[in-house]
A and B are shown apart, each in its own frame.
Chain A
Amino acid sequence: MSPKSTYNRTLRIIPLLFGLGWSFLSLSALGKEDPFAGVVPKSSDAWEERDFFTDNFAFRKELMAEFGADSLGEVSSRQSLGFEVQKKFSSETATLFSVDLQARLVRRDGFTDAPNDMEGMTRPGWSFEVHNAYLDLYNPFGGVGSLNLRLGRFYLPFGLNLSTDTHGSLLQLSNEADFGFERDWYGGVWGAFGPFLYDLDYLVGSGYDLVFKGQRGLVAGRLSLGNRIVSDTGLEGGFSFANGSRLSMAGMPVETLRGGMDVRWKGAGPAGSLGFTGELALGEDDQASVSSQLAQADYLHASRTWGFSGQFRRAAREGGSPKAWVLAEATWYFRNDMAGSNLQWLKLNVRWPLEGAALTGATLFTLQYYQYW
């Protein structure tokens, strides 16, 4: 063998030796750096327990203590204890229907027209109030989400109230002032099509009690932005209508026509989150023109332990003087669960009349302690 061929062979072996060495070092390194080699997921049966009270069943309690005082010397007290029961019923492959019952035992002394207690005017002393009592039937005709049925008592399908829990809050949306009630007994359909949600219902038009006293009831509905738009942009909004007859606060039938639009945006703000809400409704009550406007701004600190709100509201009726108020509210949260299902707070609300004879024309202070758990 010539020296040249020996040299060439050596040249060919060197890379091979390097390769082998590198592989050895790599394998050693891998062995050192992969302590998870050989670890595999264990197979185990998922925990499963189902009976009436463990399968999609929720029971919550509610405690509220509210005190009001106005600049004319009127004082009020509203104390209540309540509960909410929710239950969903399912087959092995589908959630079929759900029921919700929410009620309060209330004691009222005095009346100051607190922002969340319009009905208190006619309910001195003890009363038992049913707030929600409804059945939702999901996809009864097949498909998924396009058509569901609702029967019972719930928020009016007008404006933002269907997507806003005002059960415990002091600040309310427009419906109670506009229609005389924010909830009614009704049956109808709801669902989604494309990027929109819809609600279409027949309402008894009696508000608090399920009674017919000459009113025909109302047909009402809302077309609103779907939740993907809400998730992507923070923007909610919709158009609503209501037509028919309802009972007034005095228990008399009122021919009612309403058209409304609403919008709400929620997003990040300085060290917290911001929300802006607007509702507008126009129409007729017994052929007299009526209108209402609401604008609200909310701030919640990122700690979710305190926040501020401000609200402007105005209502006008043909032949009467318009009424307007501005409200300011501070809230201290002791518990403020994300889903609004474990709450404890103290609120101080002040309402100033701006225009017209707003019931008493007085500045009203309301202090509320609320717990929901």
Chain B
Amino acid sequence: MRSILSSILAGILFFPTQAFAAIGCTLNNPAEDLKYLFPGMTSYREELKEFGKLPDGKKAFEGLPARLRGELDPVYETYETAYTVYWAFKGKEKLGLVHGVNVPGQGGVIQVFLSLDPKTGAIKKFFFQRLESPAASALRAKAFRDKFTGFTLADFYKHDHYQDKDPKNPADKVGGIILPKTVSGKKDLQAALRGVRKNLVLMDLFVFGGMYEPFFERAQKVGAKAPGGKP
């Protein structure tokens, strides 16, 4: 009996952790949310994504701070964190994908979900699943969220340049995202922006095969600030 127990204990404790995943930010009820985002949807498929399963996952993870322009949060942004991607279909046609991330806000977790175009990775809809913030009503407002429609990761990489070199350039779409002056909780706006950016960066890595890397490389080449700045 003792040897059997020892084998079970050893088997469990030394099972290779990196081969498996803890599931990160998921939709509470995927079917309901996806039907709302894609009214013509006939089915959906979930896919679990992890850095540990990428061919060069360690390197990709180490490259995150530069792409996010900030250090990673030790609670919210670990190598082991897994990400669930939801693909929406109409028959066999891909209507889009939905993905969510967690970012720390003033009052706790902020869960930022994006629905993206399956070919270009452009934002179709942006919504919060969980948002505990003094700025919650302003951030949840449709008029605010609609400002992100059509944004791609390229817009964030371009923003790095404009923010440093030409802050008032009207071509800086991300720089144009502001909340009314009367709204408190501006830190949560920064957190939400970081959430949108992180979401796009992760999808570029996991789904779009680095489609927007040329914009990141150009931003680096023209001297965007080193990690540590705000998104």
Query: Could you say which of B78, B108, B130 has the most chain A C-beta atoms within 10 Å of its C-beta?
Result: B108
Say yes or no: is B76 at the interface (Cβ < 8 Å to chain A): yes
Given A39-B218, A47-B206, A342-B22, do A94 and B43 touch, yes or no (CB 8 Å)? Answer: yes
Contact of A273 among B80, B108, B111, B208 (CB under 8 A): B108
Q: What chain A residues lie within 8 Å of B107 (beta carbons)?
A: 267-269, 272-273, 302
Contact of B15 among A61, A139, A272, A338 (CB under 8 A): A61
Say yes or no: is A234 at the interface (Cβ < 8 Å to chain B): yes
Q: What chain B residues lie within 8 Å of A9 (beta carbons)?
A: none
CA distance A49 to B12 in the complex (A): 25
Question: Are A54 and B43 in contact, with the CB atoms below 8 A?
Answer: no
Say yes or no: is A14 at the interface (Cβ < 8 Å to chain B): no
Q: What chain A residues lie within 8 Å of B128 (beta carbons)?
A: 231
Look across to chain B and name the residue whose beta carbon is closest to the beta carbon of A63. Answer: B13
Q: What chain A residues lie within 8 Å of B227 (beta carbons)?
A: none
Look across to chain A and name the residue whose beta carbon is closest to the beta carbon of B130. Answer: A231
CA distance A39 to B219 in the complex (A): 10
Chain B min CB distance to A13 (Å): 31
CA distance A273 to B133 in the complex (A): 10
Contact of A42 among B31, B48, B213 (CB under 8 A): B213
Question: Are A41 and B78 in contact, with the CB atoms below 8 A?
Answer: no
Q: What chain A residues lie within 8 Å of B12 (beta carbons)?
A: 61, 81-83
CA distance A222 to B128 in the complex (A): 26
Question: Are A43 and B75 in contact, with the CB atoms below 8 A?
Answer: no
A: interface residue count bin: 35 or more
Question: Are B161 and A95 in contact, with the CB atoms below 8 A?
Answer: no
B residues 88-111 with Cβ under 8 Å of A? 89, 91-92, 102, 104-109, 111
Q: What chain B residues lie within 8 Å of A167 (beta carbons)?
A: none
Given A43-B211, A61-B13, A232-B140, do A144 and B31 touch, yes or no (CB 8 Å)? Answer: yes
Contact residues of B: prevailing secondary structure: mixed
Given A39-B214, A58-B48, do A33 and B166 touch, yes or no (CB 8 Å)? Answer: yes
B: interface residue count bin: 35 or more
Question: Are A341 and B42 in contact, with the CB atoms below 8 A?
Answer: no
Question: Are B25 and A342 in contact, with the CB atoms below 8 A?
Answer: no
Q: Which of B33-41, B64-72, B175-183, B194-202 lies at the interface?
A: B33-41
CA distance A192 to B219 in the complex (A): 46
CA distance A145 to B23 in the complex (A): 21
Q: What chain A residues lie within 8 Å of B48 (beta carbons)?
A: 55-58, 88
A residues 303-350 with Cβ under 8 Å of B? 303-304, 335-339, 341-342
Interface string of A133-146 (1 = CB under 8 A from B): 00000110000111
Say yes or no: is B21 at the interface (Cβ < 8 Å to chain A): yes
Say yes or no: is B142 at the interface (Cβ < 8 Å to chain A): no
Q: What chain B residues lie within 8 Å of A254 (beta carbons)?
A: none
Given A41-B211, A145-B35, do A81 and B53 touch, yes or no (CB 8 Å)? Answer: no
Given A33-B169, A59-B20, do A105 and B211 touch, yes or no (CB 8 Å)? Answer: no
Question: Are A145 and B214 in contact, with the CB atoms below 8 A?
Answer: no
Given A39-B214, A55-B48, A228-B36, do A336 and B15 touch, yes or no (CB 8 Å)? Answer: no
Say yes or no: is B163 at the interface (Cβ < 8 Å to chain A): no
Look across to chain B and name the residue whose beta carbon is closest to the beta carbon of A191. Answer: B31
CA distance A59 to B47 in the complex (A): 16
Say yes or no: is B143 at the interface (Cβ < 8 Å to chain A): no
Contact of B46 among A54, A56, A82 (CB under 8 A): A56
CA distance A47 to B107 in the complex (A): 36
Say yes or no: is A46 at the interface (Cβ < 8 Å to chain B): yes
Given A40-B214, A267-B107, do A338 and B76 touch, yes or no (CB 8 Å)? Answer: yes
Look across to chain A and name the residue whose beta carbon is closest to the beta carbon of B5. Answer: A105
CA distance A251 to B172 in the complex (A): 70
Chain B min CB distance to A10 (Å): 35
Given A49-B53, A94-B44, A144-B42, do A272 and B82 touch, yes or no (CB 8 Å)? Answer: no
Interface string of A143-186 (1 = CB under 8 A from B): 01110000000000000000000000000000000000000000
Q: What chain A residues lie within 8 Å of B132 (beta carbons)?
A: 234, 266-268, 273
Question: Are B169 and A35 in contact, with the CB atoms below 8 A?
Answer: no
Question: Are A228 and B32 in contact, with the CB atoms below 8 A?
Answer: yes
Known: A55-B48, A228-B33, A336-B75. 18 other contacts (CB 8 A): A39-B215, A39-B218, A41-B154, A47-B54, A55-B47, A58-B20, A83-B12, A93-B89, A138-B31, A231-B129, A268-B107, A268-B132, A272-B107, A273-B109, A337-B75, A338-B24, A339-B25, A341-B82
9 tightest Cβ-Cβ pairs between the two chains A and B: A145-B31, A268-B107, A341-B22, A273-B108, A44-B209, A227-B28, A94-B43, A268-B132, A59-B20
15 A-B Cβ contacts within 8 A?
Answer: A35-B161, A35-B221, A45-B209, A53-B20, A58-B22, A60-B20, A88-B46, A92-B45, A93-B43, A105-B8, A145-B31, A228-B36, A273-B107, A341-B23, A373-B22
